[in-house]
Amino acid sequence: MWYPSVEEIIAIHDDVVSEYPDTPSGTQNRGDVEFALDYIEEGNFNSASVTIHERAFHLLRLLVASHPFVDGNKRTALNVTVVFYVLNGYRFEYGDEIRLLLKQFGTDEASVDTEETIEYFRTRSEEFDLAEETEEWREDLIQYGVEQLTNDSSDPND
């Protein structure tokens, strides 16, 4: 199973907040991000989450509830969770109800029904063949890379 690193989560956060000029970036407590990752990988008090959906639930919950970033915690947590699913071979197609869930995690975490929410994650995700998907994206990725190289203005002769 793939787990993001603290640096990858911070990079996702920086990317998310860069889209909103009035949202400040920055990490308030890197330890909260580290704890979230340790928790989904190792569990807590010898009770590790078993399924990807349980792990995704706790990743989202901990990144929202602990408020590790100056701003953009909910958006970052949702994006990290989507990436977590994709890199483990799942699509997470959440609906509008995710907004309520994010708000609950941010303001009243205890009001969230764990089993019901994990079931929501399970029903809103679908397994796919990552290798096959990557092959389908291959040409687009190559084209993107070529465009980036040809549009590079770092030529010292310019």
What is the pLDDT at residue 45?
56
What is the pLDDT at residue 47?
65
Burial class of 154 by CB neighbour count within 10 A (0 to 12, 13 to 18, 19+): exposed
| Tens-place pLDDT, residues 28-82 | 999 999 999 999 998 765 666 689 999 999 999 999 999 999 999 999 999 999 9
Per-domain residue ranges of the chain: 6-129
The CATH fold assigned to 6-129 is Four Helix Bundle (Hemerythrin (Met), subunit A) (1.20.120)
pTM of the model: 0.82
**Is 50 exceeded by the pLDDT of residue 107?**
yes
Token couple for 36: 């979230």
Higher-confidence residue: 152 or 97?
A: 97
Residue 53 makes CB contacts below 8 A (sequence gap 6+) with 118, 121, 122, 125
**Strands of the chain, DSSP E:** 90-92, 125-127
Residue 48 one-letter amino acid: A
Give residue for tokens 């787990």: 3
